Amino acid sequence: MSTVGTRLNSSAPTRVVSFDQPLLWVTLVLLVWGMVMVYSASIAMPENPRFAKYTHTYFLTRHVLWLLMSFVAAVLAFQVPVASWEKAAPWLFIVSLVFLIAVLIPYIGKVVYGARRWISLGPFGFQPSELAKFAVLLYAADYMVRKMDVKEHFFRAVAPMGVAVAVVGMLLLAEPDMGAFMVIAVIAMGILFLGGVNARMFFLIAAVLLVAFGLMIAMSEWRRERIFAYLDPWSEKNALAKGYQLTHSLIAIGRGEIFGVGLGGSVEKLHWLPEAHTDFLLAVIGEEFGLVGVVCVIGLFLWLTRRMMHIGRQAIALDRVFAGLVAQGVGIWMGFQAFINMGVNLGALPTKGLTLPLMSYGGSAILVNLVAVAVVLRIDFENRLMMRGGRV
């Protein structure tokens, strides 16, 4: 690592001189590989009449523009001391609620495939649920620090945060976006557990959430159909309906075998596999790079998650509880969402509209993901500064 100054003045810009460089490089590898695969998966889309007005580089160009904006946002986020994020956490949570409400208002929220999840910002679309993931993470970490008596007064301490997550959940289900709600619930649960909730109470909350999600599925016909399609995707009824994406994802991965058919050689991306550049990008990776490529992606996300958890433990050991919970919360977020996306692509989990973090096409997701990674790098920067005798 490079040298570092002995003192950090929060009023002056931070020089990027000492942080977890391997974490940065793994993030860059995922971003660059994702950019290549987004281009590969979307290059033939203009041949489909639905996308006839687009050029072959339409999605690549937009993806690159979002990457550039995201890098700028990440650099700015790195300059912000962790203490400032802690102070801003409740306000950022309120801002995310405002956006989640706004997206439900006609003429503000944009409807795509029957779901109202986007707000149009000129030529771009912003997905408030992505901001909500980051905002809930910060809010939960801040809340747990302020309610450190959680072990003694569990319900009094945790109930308000549970209400906050429930409000976010109701707004997300109104879009509907059950996938984002699942991720947010897991982030909140993870921070609760890491923040000091005893195991008995933790499993009680987990059981309540499982029952709640089970009821949501049971009371929704189209969610039930997705479960049935997952259980028997190859039946004549499901293969051309709810199981269509899953069957073609499995075909793509099966065609890739061990070493893949080569970059650009995917057949399934040629109008057979819907959303190949977003939710099912891993299937195209599996077809073009084979089992080796899929294992490499899994390995990169495992390392990314493990490293973030380590940075979080290090911060907590330095008595920086908020910083530690945020770093570990980002690790839970990236790891869980990647796990769900991979499980869906591999047929191990029911189809759910979640992108592969840092890799799939999706501008607002990339933006918020990179800001979150920048905050973790900042936490590591401040950890190193303290261990070398400096002040945060």
DSSP classification of residue 15: P
Write down the residue that tokens 């391997």 correspond to: 22
Does residue 149 lie within any of the structural domains? yes
- For residue 3, being part of any structural domain is answered with no
**Residue 117 counted as domain residue:** yes
How high is the pLDDT of residue 154? 62
pLDDT at 360: 94
Inside any domain, residue 243: yes
Q: Check residue 12 and give its pLDDT.
A: 42
Full domain range(s) for residue 256: 21-386
What amino acid occupies position 151? K
State the DSSP code for 104: T
Q: What is the pLDDT of residue 46?
A: 83
Please indicate, yes or no, if residue 75 is contained in any of the structural domains: yes
The string of pLDDT tens digits covering residues 221-258 is 777 777 877 877 888 777 777 788 889 899 999 999 99
The answer to whether residue 183 sits within a structural domain is yes
> Hey, what are 118's tokens?
């986007």
Task: Give the phi and the psi of residue 116 in degrees, each rounded to 5.
Answer: -100, 85
Is 223 domain-assigned?
yes
Q: What is the pLDDT of residue 150?
A: 54
Closest of 82, 103, 260, 268 to residue 176, by C-alpha: 103
The angle subtended at Cα 5 by Cα 392 and Cα 385, nearest 5°, is 40
Amino acid 157: pLDDT: 64
Element (DSSP H or E) covering residue 116: strand 115-121
| Dihedral pair phi/psi, residue 160, rounded to 5° | -60, -40
- Specify the pLDDT at position 17: 47
Taking the C-alpha atoms of residue 333 and residue 351, their distance in angstroms, rounded to an integer, is 19
pLDDT at 149: 60
> How many whole angstroms separate alpha carbon 209 and alpha carbon 188?
11
**What is the number of domains present in the chain?**
1
Give the pLDDT confidence score for residue 164 in this predicted structure: 86
- Residue 5 domain flag: no
Averaged in consecutive runs of 10 residues, what is the pLDDT profile of the chain (392 residues)?
42 55 95 96 83 85 94 96 94 94 86 77 82 94 78 66 86 85 90 76 77 80 77 78 85 92 90 87 95 97 96 94 95 95 90 89 92 96 86 70
- Calculate the alpha carbon distances from 143 to 138, 169, 263, 275, 310 in Å: 8, 18, 46, 37, 22
Query: Cβ(100)–Cβ(168) under 8 Å?
Result: yes
Helix axes 128-146, 154-173, angle to 10 degrees: 180
